[in-house]
Amino acid sequence: MKDAEKATRPHVFHGITRSMCPECRKIVDAQVLIRNGAVYLRKYCLEHGWHEALISSDADWHVRSVAYNKPGALPLTTATPVKQGCPDDCGLCPEHQQHTCLGLIEITTRCNLTCPTCFADSGEGYDLRLEQVEAMLDRFVAAEGNPEVVQLSGGEPTIHPQILQIVAAARSRGIPHVMVNTNGVRLAQEPDFVRRLAEHGPTIYLQFDGLHDSTYRTLRGSNLIDIKRRALDNLAEAGLYANLVTTVARDVNDGELGDILRFGLEHPAVLGLCYQPLSYAGRHAGEVDPLRRTTVTDVLHRLEEQSGGLFKVSDFRPVPCPHPDCSACAYAYVHEGEVTPISRVVDVDEYLDLAVNRTVVDISNELRPVLEALSGMAAVMGVEKAASALSCAACGIDLSALDIRNLHERFFMIQVHGFMDEYNFDLERLMKCCIHQLLPDGRAVPFCAYNILGYREEVRREQEALRDR
Ligand code: SF4
Ligand code: SF4
Ligand code: SF4
């Protein structure tokens, strides 16, 4: 008798995790499948059936990135007990796998723009009081000991009436890197405000989606490129530096990545770029297509094409501090206009392998500081620590005597960070998150949980009720 022919599955079953039903938002099991060189989540909800979502367009990158995972650090204190199970116990609860590398404070929900794409769903709303922010900063210091980075966000933080006092409050608690996440409108319109801000030395995290007004009209609802340029010129004049933050949307601005890079390399106020593939959290322009979305690896490949090889995919590494699927990073040395990615002068993998496989061995190597700079989400270009961390005798780079004000001429950082939504949500990534929203009640919630699991709405309800009393 002839054997019946067995069909072969059209995918490799790569693993299993927990995700979310995009219809009812219940947490459900999800298979991780590799198909045609890409990686998908396939999940089943008892009520709403099967759903699939693309999580990476480059299966090789995804598989290799596992090697970049490393043990997390514990915060000094946690704020919530394990009661209902992840992700309902944030936090941080004692089961969380990474401390807070970067604490975010949403100091206002108000904004001077009403962008069609806004994961924070900002517009109207309220400002936190200065005393509330101070208490949150105190709690952050108690949980972390020596926190490295706090980002003030919103809404639009520069329109908070006490923004200068808030930046000063963070600095006075010894937090070395205070970042202000802004659309740049006030920075462009009020050079005097920029000068006063400069007295407190924050780094600016500037929304910068491209070089064409059409891009801004689609994502932000108005023509903004002149505003962005003016904001950057005012920063340069006041001696402040910025990282450009680009929301990357398929068929909107994914053809501009190389031009944004070249612009950033040339502008004296720009220290680095952060490309963020559009997440479908909050408000977002255009169709939702979880199978055709832009992923972290799409950005890497497009950047290689569009930069003429200035940065190649091979120059990037998964960032090991959060889950390695979350983020990729590359640094370059820039000297007299020549751009040299660090990975071309340092065998980064050799040292990362040592760090991952031999965690009990003290790698007292002169390249260790380079690895630390690469591996920490808390690394912020443009600060003394980055200058000393990136000094390296072995690769011929010595920044120890560098005038910090000229750092932008020496090093440039590119980060690609893929935030999650209800389609690509992966509980494994959430548990290793190192970017945490600091809440007025003292909790710290992983940023993706804050965006999509109802924590933001809970905080807003509480704060609005407080103000109605
Ligand atoms: S995401 Fe982290 S803090 Fe939140 S419930 Fe899960 S383990 Fe706890
Ligand atoms: S994306 Fe930023 S600038 Fe636009 S509405 Fe939201 S908070 Fe304001
Ligand atoms: S914010 Fe989201 S994407 Fe970023 S590290 Fe945390 S879990 Fe990962």
Q: Is 269 in the pocket of ligand 1 (CB under 6 A)?
A: no
Distance of CA 113 to the CA centre of its chain: 22
For 249-297, write each residue's pLDDT tens digit. 999 999 999 999 999 999 999 999 999 999 998 888 778 899 999 999 9
Longest dimension (CA), the chain: 88
Q: Is the pLDDT of residue 355 over 60?
A: no
* Best CA proximity match to 431, nearest among 144, 88, 147: 88
* Best CA proximity match to 67, nearest among 319, 366, 298: 319
Model pTM score: 0.89
For 313-337, write each residue's pLDDT tens digit. 999 999 888 999 999 999 888 877 8
d(CA 322, CA 450): 16
Query: What number does the ligand 1 atom closest to the CA of 87 have?
Result: 5
Q: Name the closest-CA residue to atom 4, ligand 1.
A: 90
Query: Ligand 2 pocket by C-beta < 6 Å: which residues?
Result: 111, 113-115, 118, 120, 122, 154-156, 183, 207, 220
β-pairing verdict for 49-56 and 242-248:
unpaired
Q: What is the pLDDT of residue 358?
A: 28
Q: For residue 369, name the pLDDT band (cuts at 50, 70, 90).
A: low
Q: How many angstroms separate the alpha carbon of residue 118 from the centre of ligand 2?
A: 5
Query: What number does the ligand 2 atom closest to the CA of 117 have?
Result: 1
Q: Name the closest-CA residue to atom 2, ligand 1.
A: 96
Q: Name the closest-CA residue to atom 6, ligand 3.
A: 433
Mutate to test the pocket of ligand 1, among 89, 433, 437, 458 (most ligand atoms within 8 A of CB): 89
Q: Name the closest-CA residue to atom 8, ligand 1.
A: 93
